C-alpha cells in the first residue's frame, strides 16, 4: 500500500491492529519469553540462596557477565532517545515511523539494565543502601564513587525517557481510547490525560514535547559517559582511559540503532506496517550504524595507539594480551562483529535487504556484548601483578541470567506492542495529506 493511498482511518486501523488482534507470532513470543523467565528465575533463586559463588566468578575478575550485560543494555537504551529527541530537534523526517518503538525499547532496555546492579551485588537484599535516603543510622553514600554517579545517571535517564515517552503517547492513546469500549476505554482515557485534539492542546503539547526533547538530548550523551567512568575512573589497565566517554557513547548508539533494526524488522513484517516503516527508514538506521561503527573502529585503534605510545607496560600488556592471550576469541568476536561484518552495509544491496539488515544488526549486538566483555573481563584477568592473572569464563548461572535479561526485555516489548500503538499515529498523519485537501487536489488535476 503506498503512502498516497493512505488515509487517516487506514492509519488508525493499521497501527492499532496488533492491539486488538495479536497474531500467533505474538503468543509464540510470549511463550519463548516465559521459558526464559523460568530459567532466569531459577538461576536468580540459586544465587540468592547460595550466594554469588554459584556464578563463574574467578577472582580477581570480580565483575563479569552481569556488569557486561548491564552496560550492554544501557547501551541499547541509547538509540531510542537519540532518535526521538535529537532527530526531532533536527527535524529529521525519517524518525516518524520508528521513534515510538525505539523509545519503548530504550525504556525497557534501561529497565533491564537497572536489574543488574541488584543481581550483581553480593548482598542484593542490601542493594538499596546505594541510594541516599534519610536513615536513623546516619549512613551516607560516597559521592566520590563512580558507581554513585551511575546510580544517578541511570535513574535520571530512566525518568526523563519515561516522561518523554508517555508525553509522546498522549495523542495516540487518545486515538486508541476512541476505538475501545468499557473498562479498557476508561484506562486509555486516564492515560490520554483528557486529550481532545484541540488547537490549544496541540500548541501546549508541541511546546512540552520540544522542551522534553531538549532535556533528553544531553542525557543521551551523559548516561553512557557516566557508565564509562565506572571503568575510566578505575586504575585497572585497559579501563583507565580518557577515551572512554565518547567511545562508549558511539558504541551505545551503534548497538542501539542495530537493536532498533533487529526489533523493527520483524515487527514491520508481522504486523504489516510496511506502509509506515520503509526500507528507507532502515537504511537510515544502517547509515547511522555505519557512522558510529566507524567511530568505534577508530576508537579501538586509538586505544591501541595510546597504550603503545604511553610507554606504560601494564597498559600495553593488557592490549597485547587481548589479542594473543586466552581471551583472543573475545577480541576476535568483537572486531569481526563490530568492525568487519558491518562493512557489508556499505553495499546498498545489503543494507536494503531484509536478510542483510536483520543478520548484520544481530551480529552487531553480539559484537557489542563481546566488546563490553572484552573490556571488563579481560582487563581484570590481566591486571598489574602477573601472579594474579586468571582466566574467567561465565558459567551456566550467568548465561541463564543473561537469557533472563532478554526474556525480561522482550516481555515488556511484547506487552508494549499489544497495549500501545507502536508507530506514532499522530505523527504519521502529519506526513499525510489532510483528507479533504487530498480530494481537492485530485479534482484540481
Partner 1 sequence: MQGLNRRDFLKVGAVATTATAAACTYDYKVPQEHVLPYVVNPENVQPGLASYYATACHGCASACGVVARNKDGRVVGVEGNPDHPLAASLCARGHFDLYAAYSPDRVAGPTDGRTALSWADADKKVADAVAAARAAGKAVAWLGAYRSGTVDALLGELVAGGLRRVHWEPMGVDALLAAARQAYGVDELPVYELGGAHTIVTFGHDFLNTAFGAMAMARGWAQAKDPARGEFVARMVSFEARLGSSSSQADHWFAAAPGSEARVAFALARLCAEAKGYTGPAAALLGAVDVAGAAAAAGLDEARLKQVAGWLAAGPSVVLPGGPSTEGADATALAVATLLCNEVLGNVGHSVVFGRGARPGQVNSYADVKALVDDAAAGKVGVLILDGLDLVHLAPGDLAVADALGKCDLVVQLANEPNDSSGDKTLLLPVGSGFEHWSDARVEAGVAVLGQPAMIPLKDSRGLGDFVLGLVKSNPAPAPAAVEGAVPDAAPVVTTASLAAAAATFGDLVKARWAAVYKPADADLATWWVEVQAKGVFAVSLPVASVVWQAATLPEVGAGLAAGEKALVLFAGHLHDGRWANVPWAQELPDPISTYFWNTWVEVNPKTAESLGLAEKDLVKLTTDTGTVEVGWFGSPAVREGTFALVAGNGKQVGKYAKGRGANAMKLLASSTDASGSLATGGLKVVATRVSGNSGVHALCGNLDQDGRPIAVAVNVDDAVKNLHGEAASIVPLHHIPIDERVTAAGSVDMFPEPQHPTYRFALTIDNNACNGCGACQIACAMENNTPFVGPDQLQKGRTMVWIRMDRFFEGEGENPDIRYLPALCQQCSHAPCEGVCPVLATYHNLDGLNAMIYNRCVGTRYCANNCPYAARRFNYHTWQWPESYHLMLNPDLSTREMGVMEKCTFCVQRTRAAKDLYRDVAFGEREPGRPVNMSQNTVPDEALRKLTACAAACPTDAITFGNWNDEKSTVRAIGESPRAYTLLGELNTKPGVRYVARINHNAPANAGHHGGGHHEAPAGGHDAGGHGAPAGDHGTHPAAPAAEPAHGAEHKEG
Q: Which residues contribute to the site for partner 1 (CB under 8 A)?
A: 50-53, 56-60, 62-63, 117, 120-123, 126-127, 129-130, 139-142, 144-148, 151, 230, 233-236, 310-314, 317, 380, 383-390
Are the C-beta atoms of 83 and 101 separated by less than 8 Å? Answer: no
CB of 388 to partner 1, least distance (A): 4
CB of 207 to partner 1, least distance (A): 38
Tracing cell 529529521 back to the chain, one arrives at 92
Are the C-beta atoms of 275 and 290 separated by less than 8 Å? Answer: no
Residues 6 or more apart whose CB falls under 8 angstroms from that of 259 comprise 76, 79, 105, 109, 361, 365
CB of 110 to partner 1, least distance (A): 19
Give the C-alpha separation, 420 to 426, whole Å: 13
**Cβ-based nearer residue to partner 1, 202 or 389:** 389
Give the C-alpha separation, 409 to 382, whole Å: 33
CB of 291 to partner 1, least distance (A): 33
Ordered DSSP codes for 341-364:
GGGGGGSHHHHTSHHHHHHHHHHH
Nearest to 259 by CA among 156, 122, 110, 129: 110
CB of 157 to partner 1, least distance (A): 18
Are the C-beta atoms of 81 and 103 separated by less than 8 Å? Answer: yes
CB of 376 to partner 1, least distance (A): 9
**Cβ-based nearer residue to partner 1, 252 or 380:** 380
Nearest to 250 by CA among 309, 302, 319: 302
**Cβ-based nearer residue to partner 1, 131 or 347:** 131
Helix, strand or coil for residue 61? strand
**Cβ-based nearer residue to partner 1, 148 or 432:** 148
Tracing cell 525519517 back to the chain, one arrives at 94
CB of 333 to partner 1, least distance (A): 22
Provide the phi-psi class of 423: left if phi over 0, else alpha when psi is between -120 and 50, else beta. beta
**Cβ-based nearer residue to partner 1, 61 or 85:** 61
Cell numbers at residue 55, please? 556464578
CB of 257 to partner 1, least distance (A): 30
CB of 75 to partner 1, least distance (A): 20
**Cβ-based nearer residue to partner 1, 379 or 422:** 379
Residue 336: phi and psi, rounded to 5, are -65, -45
**Cβ-based nearer residue to partner 1, 66 or 254:** 66
**Cβ-based nearer residue to partner 1, 177 or 382:** 382
Give the C-alpha separation, 204 to 80, whole Å: 23
CB of 277 to partner 1, least distance (A): 41
**Cβ-based nearer residue to partner 1, 246 or 325:** 325
What letter does residue 58 receive in the DSSP assignment? B
**Cβ-based nearer residue to partner 1, 240 or 438:** 240
Q: Say how many residues make up the chain.
A: 445
Give the C-alpha separation, 403 to 396, whole Å: 10
CB of 153 to partner 1, least distance (A): 13
Nearest to 114 by CA among 153, 83, 84: 153
**Cβ-based nearer residue to partner 1, 217 or 379:** 379
Question: Which residues are paired to 58 by β-bridges?
Answer: 61
Tracing cell 487536489 back to the chain, one arrives at 441
Amino acid at each position: 500500500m503506498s503512502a498516497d493511498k493512505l488515509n487517516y482511518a487506514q492509519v488508525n486501523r493499521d497501527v492499532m491492529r496488533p492491539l486488538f488482534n495479536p497474531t500467533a507470532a505474538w503468543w509464540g513470543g510470549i511463550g519463548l519469553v516465559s521459558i526464559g523467565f523460568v530459567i532466569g528465575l531459577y538461576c536468580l533463586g540459586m544465587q540468592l540462596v547460595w550466594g554469588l559463588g554459584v556464578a563463574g566468578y574467578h577472582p580477581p575478575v570480580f565483575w563479569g557477565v552481569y556488569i557486561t550485560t548491564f552496560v550492554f543494555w544501557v547501551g541499547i537504551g541509547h538509540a531510542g532517545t537519540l532518535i526521538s529527541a535529537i532527530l526531532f530537534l533536527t527535524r529529521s523526517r525519517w524518525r516518524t515511523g520508528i521513534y515510538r518503538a525505539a523509545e519503548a525499547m530504550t525504556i525497557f532496555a534501561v529497565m533491564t539494565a537497572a536489574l543488574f546492579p541488584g543481581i550483581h551485588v553480593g548482598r542484593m537484599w542490601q542493594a538499596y543502601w546505594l541510594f541516599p535516603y534519610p536513615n536513623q543510622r546516619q549512613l551516607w553514600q560516597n559521592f566520590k564513587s563512580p558507581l554513585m554517579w551511575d546510580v544517578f545517571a541511570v535513574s535520571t535517564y530512566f525518568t526523563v525517557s519515561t516522561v518523554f515517552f508517555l508525553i509522546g503517547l498522549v495523542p495516540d492513546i487518545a486515538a486508541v481510547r476512541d476505538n475501545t469500549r468499557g473498562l479498557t476505554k476508561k484506562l486509555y482515557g486516564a492515560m490520554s490525560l483528557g486529550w481532545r485534539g484541540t488547537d490549544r492542546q496541540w500548541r501546549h503539547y508541541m511546546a512540552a514535547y520540544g522542551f522534553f526533547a531538549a532535556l533528553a538530548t544531553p542525557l543521551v550523551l551523559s548516561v553512557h559517559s557516566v557508565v564509562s567512568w565506572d571503568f575510566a575512573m578505575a586504575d585497572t589497565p585497559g579501563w583507565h582511559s580518557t577515551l572512554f566517554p565518547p567511545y562508549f557513547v558511539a558504541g551505545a548508539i551503534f548497538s542501539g540503532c542495530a537493536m532498533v533494526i533487529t526489533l523493527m524488522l520483524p515487527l514491520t513484517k508481522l504486523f504489516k506496517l510496511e506502509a509506515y516503516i520503509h526500507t528507507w527508514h532502515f537504511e537510515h538506521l544502517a547509515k547511522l550504524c555505519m557512522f558510529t561503527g566507524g567511530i568505534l573502529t577508530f576508537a579501538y585503534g586509538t586505544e591501541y595507539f595510546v597504550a603503545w605510545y604511553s610507554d606504560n607496560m601494564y597498559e600495553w600488556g593488557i592490549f597485547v594480551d587481548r589479542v594473543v592471550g586466552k581471551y583472543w576469541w573475545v577480541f576476535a568476536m568483537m572486531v569481526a562483529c563490530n568492525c568487519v561484518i558491518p562493512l557489508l552495509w556499505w553495499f546498498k544491496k545489503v543494507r536494503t535487504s531484509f536478510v542483510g539488515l536483520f543478520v548484520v544488526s544481530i551480529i552487531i549486538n553480539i559484537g557489542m556484548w563481546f566488546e563490553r566483555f572484552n573490556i571488563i573481563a579481560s582487563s581484570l584477568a590481566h591486571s598489574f601483578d602477573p601472579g594474579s592473572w586468571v582466566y574467567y569464563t561465565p558459567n551456566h548461572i550467568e548465561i541463564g541470567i543473561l537469557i533472563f535479561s532478554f526474556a525480561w526485555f522482550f516481555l515488556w516489548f511484547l506487552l508494549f506492542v499489544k497495549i500501545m500503538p507502536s508507530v506514532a499515529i499522530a505523527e504519521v498523519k502529519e506526513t499525510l495529506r489532510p483528507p479533504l485537501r487530498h480530494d481537492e487536489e485530485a479534482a484540481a488535476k
